[in-house]
């Protein structure tokens, strides 16, 4: 009977596992293989060069600059985005004034605010990047127009200034993703029994104390998953698309916004160095796996149930 059960389960798993191996695992293996060649991406002919691409990688200053920017993305983007999302969702679900019918309640109009926060998720990241590119325009943009109306005579050039460009891109990514986590965390908070909050308030706990002692511990698994998701996004397509569309060059000015995914694209499709691009891609893969492992390890804690 047990033998038949395992055959039945294996029959369902073999097809999805085969598709996963073909479309996910095999491209990774191919990328690692091509990183040891001199393939240009334009010709089917190539030769093995050993670790030459990796030696070049470690001595490439532009790679290290893109690596530095990607690490900055992977640290600050999850930190800022998830902190804002936790704050907004806590205020929407728990931070309202005490009412006669309930000791704990969210702010009035919470459902409308959730829709407003989530709205950027409806838009493509390409559309969001274009909209903010116009907003950051130093001459006709809405941001500088607003600053000039307030009396600022010499506002920054934003995307044209190496000091501001990277921060402008990060601000767009935070704005476009925080709403998703507001809705996600709100769903998690709505499942926490209100009795926990009411008992804490009766004992004299403040809202800040209830957040750190009740909400965050019971929501920790969701926060941890969100941190990994945000890190992968910061190292992947979202960061690439935003930098590619918004910045001059792209990746400028003066390579101040170059990130690893964009550097892979430039080497593969602009410079005809597909093998070196796959080498950067392999480095990006290990950075992503290392980040996920660190987050899962540091965030490991005893599971709380209620």
Cα separation, 172 vs 128, whole angstroms: 8
> Quick one: average pLDDT of 209-218?
84
Lowest mean pLDDT among 40-44, 89-93, 198-202: 198-202
Cα separation, 279 vs 236, whole angstroms: 16
Cα separation, 302 vs 219, whole angstroms: 12
Cα separation, 233 vs 291, whole angstroms: 12
Q: Residue 50: how many CB atoms within 10 A of its CB?
A: 9
Residue 102 reports pLDDT greater than 60: no
What values do phi and psi take at 59, rounded to 5? -105, 10
pLDDT digits (tens, 9 = 90+) for 21-71: 999 899 889 889 999 998 888 888 888 998 999 999 999 999 999 999 999
Cα separation, 266 vs 29, whole angstroms: 22
Cα separation, 57 vs 69, whole angstroms: 16
Return the CA Rg of the chain.
24
Residue 7 reports pLDDT greater than 80: no
Q: All domains of the chain, ordered by start, with CATH? A: 1-27 (no CATH), 61-298 (1.10.3720.10)
Cα separation, 173 vs 238, whole angstroms: 8
Residue 171 reports pLDDT greater than 90: yes
User: In this prediction, what percent of the chain has a pLDDT beyond 70?
Assistant: 93
Residue 166 reports pLDDT greater than 90: yes
Predicted local confidence at residue 4, as pLDDT: 64
Predicted local confidence at residue 84, as pLDDT: 93
Predicted local confidence at residue 301, as pLDDT: 66
Residue 192 reports pLDDT greater than 90: no
Task: Give the tokens for residue 292.
Answer: 């996920």
pLDDT digits (tens, 9 = 90+) for 118-162: 888 888 889 999 999 999 988 888 888 888 888 888 888 899 889
The mean pLDDT of the chain is 85
Question: What predicted TM-score, i.e. pTM, was given to this entire model?
Answer: 0.85
Predicted local confidence at residue 70, as pLDDT: 92
Cα separation, 223 vs 279, whole angstroms: 32
Predicted local confidence at residue 3, as pLDDT: 58
Provide the b/e sequence for 234-258 (b: ≥16 CB within 10 Å).
bbbebbbbbbbbbbebbbbbebbbb
Predicted local confidence at residue 153, as pLDDT: 80
Instruction: For residue 99, name the pLDDT band (cuts at 50, 70, 90).
Output: low
pLDDT digits (tens, 9 = 90+) for 238-274: 889 999 999 988 888 888 999 999 999 999 888 889 9
Instruction: For residue 104, name the pLDDT band (cuts at 50, 70, 90).
Output: low
Cα separation, 57 vs 60, whole angstroms: 5
Write down the residue that tokens 């460009």 correspond to: 165
């Amino acid at each position: 009977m047990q033998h038949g059960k395992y055959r039945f389960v294996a029959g369902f798993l073999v097809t999805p596992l085969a598709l996963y191996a073909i479309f996910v695992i095999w491209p990774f293996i191919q990328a690692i293989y091509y990183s040891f060649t001199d393939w240009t991406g334009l010709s089917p002919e190539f030769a093995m060069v050993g670790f030459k691409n990796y030696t070049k990688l470690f001595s490439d200053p532009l790679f290290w600059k893109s690596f530095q920017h990607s690490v900055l993305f992977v640290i600050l983007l999850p930190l800022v985005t998830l902190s804002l999302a936790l704050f907004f969702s806590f205020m929407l679900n728990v931070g309202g004034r005490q009412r006669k019918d309930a000791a704990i309640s969210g702010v009035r109009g919470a459902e409308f605010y959730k829709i407003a926060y989530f709205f950027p998720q409806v838009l493509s990241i390409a559309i969001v990047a274009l909209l903010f590119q116009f907003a950051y325009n130093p001459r006709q943009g809405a941001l500088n127009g607003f600053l000039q109306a307030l009396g600022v005579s010499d506002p920054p050039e934003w995307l044209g200034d190496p000091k501001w460009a990277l921060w402008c891109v990060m601000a767009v990514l935070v704005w476009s993703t925080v709403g998703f986590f507001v809705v996600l965390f709100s769903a998690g908070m709505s499942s926490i029994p209100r009795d926990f909050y009411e008992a804490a308030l009766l004992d004299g706990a403040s809202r800040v104390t209830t957040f750190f002692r009740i909400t965050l511990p019971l929501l920790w698994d969701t926060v941890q998953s969100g941190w990994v998701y945000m890190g992968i996004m910061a190292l992947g397509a979202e960061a690439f698309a935003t930098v590619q569309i918004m910045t001059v060059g792209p990746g400028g000015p003066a390579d101040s916004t170059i990130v690893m995914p964009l550097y892979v694209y430039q080497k593969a499709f602009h410079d005809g160095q597909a093998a070196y691009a796959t080498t950067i891609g392999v480095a990006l893969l290990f950075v992503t796996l290392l980040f996920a492992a660190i987050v899962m390890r540091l965030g490991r804690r005893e599971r709380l149930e209620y």
